[in-house]
Amino acid sequence: MAHLRHLATSQYLGRPYKLFVMNNEGYLALVAELNRHGHLYYTDDRPEISDETYDAKMRELLAYEAQNPLFIDGGSPSQRVGGASLAQFTSFTHPRPLKSLTNVVSDEEFLAFCDRVEKGLGRANLPFTVEPKMDGLAIAVHYRNGVLSVAATRGDGISGEVVTENVRTIRSVPHRLSESVDIEVRGEVVMRHSVFEKHRGDYANPRNMAAGSLRQLDPTITASRELDFFAYQLIGPDIDSHDDLMTLAERLGFQVTPDREVGTGRDWLLDAVMRLYSNRGTYDWDIDGVVVKLDSIALQNELGTTAKAPRWAVAYKFPSVQAQTLLEDIVVQVGRTGVVTPVAVLAPVTVGGVVVRRATLHNIEDIGRKEIYIGDIVTVQRAGEVIPEVVGRVSRGENSRPFVMPETCPECGTSLIQNEGEVAFRCTNEQCPAQVKGRIRHFAARDAMDIDGLGDALVDAVVDNGWVSAPHELYAITEDQWASLERMGAKSAENLVRAFEFSKQCSLARFIFALGIPFVGKTTAETLAHRFQTIGALQSATREDFLSINDVGEKMAESMCTYFEDSVHQGWIQGCLSAGVTPVAVARTGGVLAGKTFLITGTLSRPRAEIERDIKARGGAILGSVSSKLNYLVVGESPGSKQDKAIQLTQSGKASIELVSEVGLAEWLV
Ligand code: IVH
């Protein structure tokens, strides 16, 4: 090399690195030299220097550019995005292997992992980080002096392929970090669903397409595929917490795996896994599990790794959500509004870890459109918490036969009718036992009166025993009656009665929703509560009153008038009020806790769900974890790590979280 340079050393986090110093002339010469070798290599495929020499020169160039960002030449190979096509990928040996993760698929296996960690360290109650497992492909991105130098695929974990140019096209991979650090960042390259739908082509799923897009010899193709990157591991900085490392990663300019939580204790861990599992459908990319990592890096190192995977982390994999099975029969089910839904009776099959025997077929039109016959092999799907559904036919059985809608209600024998312009068939008998049960289930549901512990079997029992035929009659059932039911202990009966008592202090919106007025969902119920303030005012409202509300159309106004004019419904409402139900309109934004966020830690004198409901009833919101968004942490006995984290965040100025005792909270809840 002709240009002037000398060697200097500098320190980053205690580790020395070499810093080449050269002048601008030398830099431009290096740009030209690297471009010539790049062309010889990539385009002519007749390199004159070895890969190592090229990489060394490139590192030198990057080091200079990191130190002199204002002098970066537009023609520098570091600035090239979507340049000439690569002939082939260069192999890259990872300085530290990229291990994979041990998978668990059940709570038992997961708890065995917790046991192993605790036993290995001889300590319990260790903080863990819980974050989504992104379903894409792993890459390692190396930065020198804060400038992206090399990006490589995981490959077999020991060595992968250099995909630097392609990775540069990913917008969420910064070319230059906010700090001049030497660092290795590992993470997942994914393709968002919205982007996949736009480009999918022949790819089966977003992961395959992300992998295919990254391994394009022409970076312009990769660029057009709009990939995304989420960091999940930082190697280099001397920081002893995965959580803090991720915070640093964000500060440096990365997007990290979202919704990360830190906590302690098996119950918390299982809850946190469950939270992510329930939310998995809300992401714009595929999540195939939850990764649980010991938060302390020192303890991670103490536990070490096996040949394949670290001992300090585990992937709790989500079960697959589709399966194929025999459609043995199609029966019909009557819902709370009398609508008759065809239900598939299936040869039992495990879908997403749950044995499915029945699945919805939506309606008769859907069955026709999907050409599904009884006796076919069908695909069954479970998406999130929703009821399993038959999504399509795989093959026709020899004796397959089409489904015919019955003429009468299977529950009460009333003739089924199909209203003009409606796809659905209906049973018109309001006293049909299926409708009564459906109505009671809806009344007690979580979003309605939220009667904890009143499951389907209990509803069936109280209706079949003739104890109730309408929701308000539930309040008359005594503790002894509940206790006399099958599989009900004295304690469960006591809890149930308590839940009924508790439900009496409810918001007007919940009560309106619980009535199950056709076309009145949760949002409309809230609008109505806000507008009318009392149930009496709502009952005496006219059609015009309803129509004067934004979002209430003819159909809904008609439905409400018909509902409130009916003396049977008036009886239900009066029955609830006489039983002590006191619905109150909660100001939408004016609750005493409006705009405030809360989280509870430790044991309090009442069930957590009750307290959370009290907070929400006054306009407060409950957060899932301690973060800068949190205003109040309600601290009970033996508080968990949430308290430590809240104090730490507040002391470091990153948050302003107030700790509140149960007594303190009670003052707000009066
Ligand atoms: S940590 C040594 N965190 O899962 C542990 N991995 O099955 C390093 N993955 O190869 C991995 N999301 O590609 C970690 N939040 C996350 C992840 C994650 C997805 C991938 C990663 C890894 C594979 C193992």
Question: Which pLDDT tens digit goes with each residue over 364-394?
Answer: 988 999 899 999 999 998 754 457 889 899 9
pLDDT digits 0-9 by tens, 546-587: 999 877 889 899 999 999 999 999 999 999 999 999 998 875
Which single residue is written with the structure tokens 């025993």?
465
Q: CA distances (Å), 20 to each of 4, 65, 147, 160, 182, in order?
A: 10, 11, 14, 28, 14
Q: Which of 57, 99, 133, 437 is catalytic?
A: 133
Confidence of residue 667 (pLDDT cuts 50, 70, 90): confident
pLDDT at 321 > cutoff 70:
yes
Q: What mean pLDDT, rounded, does the chain reach?
A: 86
Mean pLDDT of 476-486: 95
Which pLDDT score is estimated for 383? 59
Is pLDDT above 50 for 4? no
Q: What is the pTM of this model?
A: 0.46
Show the tokens assigned to 176: 């230059």
- Please tell me the distance between residue 318's alpha carbon and the centre of ligand 1 in angstroms: 14
d(CA 110, CA 443): 36
Mean pLDDT, to the nearest integer, of 411-415?
96
Distance CA(648)–CA(243), nearest Å, equals: 13
Residue 592 DSSP SS3? coil
Query: What pLDDT score was predicted for residue 6?
Result: 25
Quick check: CB of 286 below 6 Å from ligand 1?
no
Mean pLDDT of 17-29: 66
The model's pLDDT over 593-633, given as tens digits with 9 standing for 90+, comes to 877 889 998 888 888 888 888 888 787 888 888 888 888 88
For residue 376, count other CB atoms closer than 10 A to its CB: 20
β-sheet bridge partners, residue 21: 6
Q: How far apart are CA 670 and CA 668, in angstroms?
A: 6
CA of residue 130 to ligand 1 center, whole Å: 12
Tens-place pLDDT, residues 216-268: 888 888 888 899 999 999 999 999 999 999 999 999 999 999 999 999 999 99
Query: Rounded to whole angstroms, how far apart are CA atoms 262 and 242?
Result: 9
Q: How many CA within 13 A on the CB side of residue 347?
A: 12
CA distance 597 to 555: 37
CA separation for the pair 425, 415 (Å, rounded) = 10
Angle at 650 between CA 602 and CA 299, to 5 degrees: 65
265 CA → ligand 1 middle, Å = 22
Q: What is the DSSP string of 231-285?
A: EEEEESS--S-HHHHHHHHHHHT--B-SS-EEE-SHHHHHHHHHHHHHHGGGSSS
E strand residue ranges, 283-417: 287-294, 313-317, 322-334, 339-351, 354-360, 377-381, 389-395, 416-417
Question: In whole angstroms, what separates CA 615 from the centre of its chain?
Answer: 24
Q: Work out whether strand 658-660 and strand 632-635 pair parallel, antiparallel, or are unpaired.
A: parallel
Q: How high is the pLDDT of residue 323?
A: 85
Give the chain's domains with CATH numbers: 2-81 (1.10.287.610), 103-317 (3.30.470.30), 322-426 (2.40.50.140), 433-584 (1.10.150.20), 597-668 (3.40.50.10190)
CB 29 within 8 A of CB 20: no
Categorize the per-residue pLDDT at 500 as very low, low, confident or very high, splitting at 50, 70 and 90: very high
- Whether 257 is in the pocket of ligand 1, judged by its Cβ within 6 Å, is yes
pLDDT of residue 588: 52
Name the residue at shortest CA distance from atom 2 of ligand 1: 99
Task: Report whether residue 232 contacts ligand 1, using a CB cutoff of 6 Å.
Answer: yes
Q: Which atom of ligand 1 is nearest the CA belonging to 131? A: 15
**In angstroms, rounded to a whole number, what is the distance separating the alpha carbons of residues 266 and 114?**
8
Q: Three-state DSSP class for 647?
A: helix
Mean pLDDT within 293-322: 90
Distance of CA 54 to the CA centre of its chain: 44
> How far away, in angstroms, is 185 Cα from ligand 1 center?
12
pLDDT of residue 105: 83
